[in-house]
Amino acid sequence: MTGRSVVVLGGGVGGLVAANELRRRLDPRDRVVLVEREARHVLQPSLLWLMAGRRRREQIERPVRSLLARGVELVAAEVRAIDPLARQIETSAGVVSADALVVALGAELAPEAVAGYRDAALNFFSPDGAAACARALESFRGGRVVVAVSALPYKCPAAPYEAALLLDDELRRRGMRGASQVDLFTPEPQPMPVAGPVMGAAVVGLLEAKGIRFHPRSPIECFEPATAELVLADGTRAGYDLLAAVPPHRAPAAVRGSDLANEAGWIPVDRTTMQAAHERVYALGDVTTITLTNGKPLPKAGAFAHAQALVVAREIAGAFAGRSAPTGFDGVGFCWVETGAGRAAFAAGNFFAEPDPTLDLRQSARVWHAGKVLFERAWIGNSVERRLARAGLIAGGRLAGFRVTL
C-alpha cells in the first residue's frame, strides 16, 4: 500500500494540533502536510498581556516549524483557492492534492469593514496593534479609555472584557486611574451572551467592581478619528483619548470563494465529526460555524479549535483504517477571564447541553491566573518549560475538575 496524504490548511491553534496528532496516529508512510503563510505562530490569548505591556512580542511567538512534530511537512505558502470536491488546493507554492483535507484557516480580521476603524483604533487582536496599544499606554497621561467591539462575530467572547479589566489594572498600577475613565461599548446585550444570563451578570459584576462603565446594545456605525469619537447606530457620539477596539472579522478569502462556505462565508460542519459537506473534508476552529440548540453559534475560541483538532485527527485515522472513531466533539470547553492584579476568573462548561449551555464559573483568584500563565508556557515555552508546564497544567486541571489535552 502506498501512503496517503492529509493536508492541513492553517497552522494556528487548530491546525498545529491536528497536524501533530495526525502524525502521531497515522502510518509513517502516510504524509501529513501543513500549509501556513506566516513563518511565526503567535499565541493569541497572550496578545492581551502584550497590549497591557506585560509581554514583549518575542515572548509570545515561535517559529511555526518549531511547534510541529517530526515528520510533518511544512509548506510555507498562501492558500489561494480550495476545491473540496477534488480535494485540491491552489497555493502560492503550487497545487497540493489530498486524500483527506482539514481546513483550519481561522477568522480573518477586516479592519476596513467599519468606517474609520483603521485610523482610529488600536487593534489588540493583532500583534502590531497590541504592541501599539502598549506604546500608547506608555505616553498616556489620563483621560477616557474606550474598549469597543466594532462588529459581530468575533473570536474569544471574553477578550474585550479582559481588555477593559487589564487596561483598568494598568492605569491603577501607573497611578492614573483617578484621572481616567474606562468605558466598554458592545452590540451584545450582555457579556458572552451564549453563556447565559448568570455568566453575563458575573462579568458585569467584575466590570462594576472596577468602576468600568458598560454600554451593551451599542452597535457602532463608524469611528471618527478627526474628532476622536465613535458614533453609535442611533447617532450617539462618545469621545475617547485611547481607543482599543475588536476589529470586524470575516472568513478567509479562500474559504469564502469555495463551495465549502455558507452565505456568511463560514464552513458549516457536523458538530460531532467536524466533517464538512464533502467526503473526507473536515473543518475546525474559527473558520467553522456550529449552531447550538438555543440557536446561538458556538463561540470562536482556541479551546474549541484544540478539542476539534483532536477529533478530526481521530476521524481521519479511523477512516484510513476502515473503523469509526470512538468519540466525537462534545462541546466541552473552558476559558480564563483575566481580571487584573494577577488574578483571573475561570469558566468551564458544556456548550452542547440542552436547552442552553451549562457553565460553571470559578471566582477571580490568583490560581486561575497562574493556570493561564502555565498554559502559555505549555504552548509556547522552550521545550523543557513546555514539558513542565504541561505536566503542571494537566495535574492542576484534574484537581480543579477540568480537562486539559495538550
Q: What is the DSSP string of 14-80?
A: HHHHHHHHHHHHS-TTSEEEEEES-SEEE-GGGHHHHHTTSS-GGGSEEEGGGGSPTTEEEEE--EE
Residues in the interface with ligand FAD (CB under 6 A) total: 35
Q: Are 169 and 321 in contact (CB under 8 A)?
A: no
Q: Which is nearer to ligand FAD, 151 or 156 (CB)?
A: 156
Instruction: List, in order, residues 6 or more apart from 326 with CB less than 8 Å away.
Output: 314
Q: Which is nearer to ligand FAD, 50 or 317 (CB)?
A: 50
Q: Which is nearer to ligand FAD, 52 or 120 (CB)?
A: 52
Residues 78-117: x where in contact with ligand FAD by CB under 6 A, - otherwise, as a string? xx------------------------xxx-----------
For the bound state, the minimum distance from the C-beta of residue 344 to ligand FAD, rounded and expressed in Å, comes to 9
Using CB under 6 A, pick the residue from 4, 6, 8, 15 that binds ligand FAD.
Answer: 15
Angle between helices 197-209 and 159-173 (to 10 degrees): 10
Residues 303-322: x where in contact with ligand FAD by CB under 6 A, - otherwise, as a string? x-x-----------------
- SS3 category, 280: coil
Q: Which is nearer to ligand FAD, 11 or 232 (CB)?
A: 11
For the bound state, the minimum distance from the C-beta of residue 211 to ligand FAD, rounded and expressed in Å, comes to 23
Positive or negative, the CA dihedral 380, 383, 388, 390 is positive
Is 286 a binder of ligand FAD (CB under 6 A)? Answer: yes
For the bound state, the minimum distance from the C-beta of residue 156 to ligand FAD, rounded and expressed in Å, comes to 3
For the bound state, the minimum distance from the C-beta of residue 302 to ligand FAD, rounded and expressed in Å, comes to 3
Of 136-144, 174-182, 300-308, 362-370, the window that binds ligand FAD (rule: CB under 6 A) is: 300-308
Using CB under 6 A, pick the residue from 159, 274, 316, 380 that binds ligand FAD.
Answer: 159
Helix (H) or strand (E) holding 254: helix 253-256
Give the integer Cα–Cα distance in Å for 233 and 242: 21
Is 12 a binder of ligand FAD (CB under 6 A)? Answer: yes
Is 335 a binder of ligand FAD (CB under 6 A)? Answer: yes
Residue 32 phi/psi, 5° resolution? -120, 120
Instruction: List, in order, residues 6 or more apart from 350 with CB less than 8 Å away.
Output: 330, 331, 332, 357, 358
Burial class (CB in 10 A: 0-12, 13-18, 19+), 301: buried
Q: Please, which of residues 35-54 interact with ligand FAD by CB under 6 A?
A: 35-38, 44-45, 47-48
Q: Which is nearer to ligand FAD, 38 or 330 (CB)?
A: 38
Q: Are 303 and 335 in contact (CB under 8 A)?
A: yes
Burial class (CB in 10 A: 0-12, 13-18, 19+), 15: buried
For the bound state, the minimum distance from the C-beta of residue 26 to ligand FAD, rounded and expressed in Å, comes to 20
Q: Reply yes or no: is the peptide bond before residue 355 cis, omega within 30 of 0.
A: yes
Give the integer Cα–Cα distance in Å for 148 and 153: 13
Residue 250 phi/psi, 5° resolution? -150, 165
Q: Which is nearer to ligand FAD, 271 or 300 (CB)?
A: 300
Is 125 a binder of ligand FAD (CB under 6 A)? Answer: yes
Of 214-222, 265-273, 294-302, 314-322, the window that binds ligand FAD (rule: CB under 6 A) is: 294-302
For the bound state, the minimum distance from the C-beta of residue 12 to ligand FAD, rounded and expressed in Å, comes to 2
Helix (H) or strand (E) holding 265: none
Residues in contact with ligand FAD by CB under 6 A are 10-15, 35-38, 44-45, 47-48, 78-79, 104-106, 125, 155-156, 159, 252, 254, 285-287, 300-303, 305, 335-336
